[in-house]
Amino acid sequence: MSTLRMFRKKPDDPGFFGKLGFYFLLILGALVSIFPFYWMFVVGTNDKGAVFHVPPLLTIGDQFFENFKRVLDKSDFFQALGNSLFVSSMVTISVVFFCTLAGYAFAKYEFPGKNMLFVFVIATLIVPQQLGVLPTYVIMAKLHWIDSFKALIVPAMVNAFGIFWMRQYISSAVPTELIEAGRIDGGGHFRIFWRIAVPVITPAMATLGILNFMTVWNDFFWPLVVLKNKEHFTIQIALQQLFTTRDGLDYGMIMSATFTATLPLLVVFLLFSRWVIAGLTSGAIKS
């Protein structure tokens, strides 16, 4: 686009100032989006008083390790991080495996009740999580799973969204002829799934995995309900615990912890952002 054309107004063209307004709004939106991340870091690297400095402090300080040391005194930060990593990984591996299997069956097999069962799967998406929370808690208590990772992992091992999302992808990405050819060659059902389907649909599995990992990593309500002991806390609960400290709020400490806890996910997201966003948009709404 030449500069000359930017100034010549066509009936359809918003013109130079229109364009300026466009970019102004877009950049403003982007700044609002990322400012809290920066702010987290600013507070986390400055001393205690920095949060309520007037005018607001916007420069990065050098107190990060001091602040973070207090985090380690007050909480089992790295243990909590490890717990989150463990729970999220277990859930994600399981979700990806079982949802892919189920999605594959719904996409490529014929069996009585298939449509009805699939509609049922979709319908479960609408039911709010809180509706079943109390009895689920009681079940966990009966199983003696309260305060154990099993309570977090087992109920989440497969979910409706994942099945839906994998089915959509598999229907279009895996040619039925390929599967039939595999059958004719005498391959077992699981073997065909593993050797023929899975390699083709790895991108979809990766997207599902990342989306799921983020959801589990960020979950707060259910871990809050079932986890009792400090050593089992996930990172979200550990962060919240720092915030409830009675002896005055030490924001430098809180933010150094929050930032450190956010960083891994941020890095993963930035590395895989294309997949995440593509997954989100194609998985969310499709006929």
Partner 1 sequence: MAEPVITSPHAESKRPFFTEQRRSRFTAYTFISPFFILFSIFGLYPIFFTFYLSFFKWDALGPMKYVGFKNFELITTDPTFWISFSNTLIMGLMGTVPQVMLALLLAVLLHSGMTRFKKTFRILYFMPNITSIVAVTLVFSTLFGNNGMINWLLNGIGLESMAFNSGWWGVKIAISTMVMWRWTGYNAILFLSGLQSIPMDLYESAKIDGANRRQQLFFITLPLLKPFIIFVSLQSTIGALQLFTEPYVFLGQSGTGSTRQEGITMVTYLYSEAFRNGFFGTAAATAVLLFLVTILFSVLNMLISRGGGRQTGGKKA
In whole angstroms, what is the distance from residue 102 CA to residue 107 CA?
9
Judge contact between 242 and 71, C-beta under 8 A. Answer: yes
Instruction: Give the Å distances, CA to CA, from 86 to 90, 140, 150, 218.
Output: 6, 19, 11, 13
> Mask 24-63, x = binds partner 1 (CB under 8 A)?
-xx--xx-xxx-xx-xx--x-------xx-xxx-------
Is residue 189 a contact residue for partner 1 (CB under 8 A)?
A: yes
Q: Does residue 43 come out as left (phi exceeding 0), alpha (psi in the -120 to 50 range) or beta?
A: alpha
Is residue 258 a contact residue for partner 1 (CB under 8 A)?
A: yes
Residue (55 or 199) nearer to partner 1, CB: 55
Is residue 158 a contact residue for partner 1 (CB under 8 A)?
A: yes
Is residue 204 a contact residue for partner 1 (CB under 8 A)?
A: no
Is residue 277 a contact residue for partner 1 (CB under 8 A)?
A: yes
Which residue stretch of 63-71, 74-82, 194-202, 261-269 sits at the interface with partner 1 (rule: CB under 8 A)? 261-269
**The dihedral sign for the CA sequence 159, 165, 166, 167:** positive
- Can you spell out the DSSP letters for 76-136? -HHHHHHHHHHHHHHHHHHHHHHHHHHHHHHHH---TTHHHHHHHHHHTTTS-GGGGHHHH
Which residue stretch of 59-67, 75-83, 133-141, 196-204 sits at the interface with partner 1 (rule: CB under 8 A)? 133-141
Is residue 123 a contact residue for partner 1 (CB under 8 A)?
A: no
Is residue 119 a contact residue for partner 1 (CB under 8 A)?
A: no
In whole angstroms, what is the distance from residue 237 CA to residue 244 CA?
11
Which residue stretch of 59-67, 71-79, 153-161, 199-207 sits at the interface with partner 1 (rule: CB under 8 A)? 153-161
Is residue 135 a contact residue for partner 1 (CB under 8 A)?
A: yes
Is residue 194 a contact residue for partner 1 (CB under 8 A)?
A: no
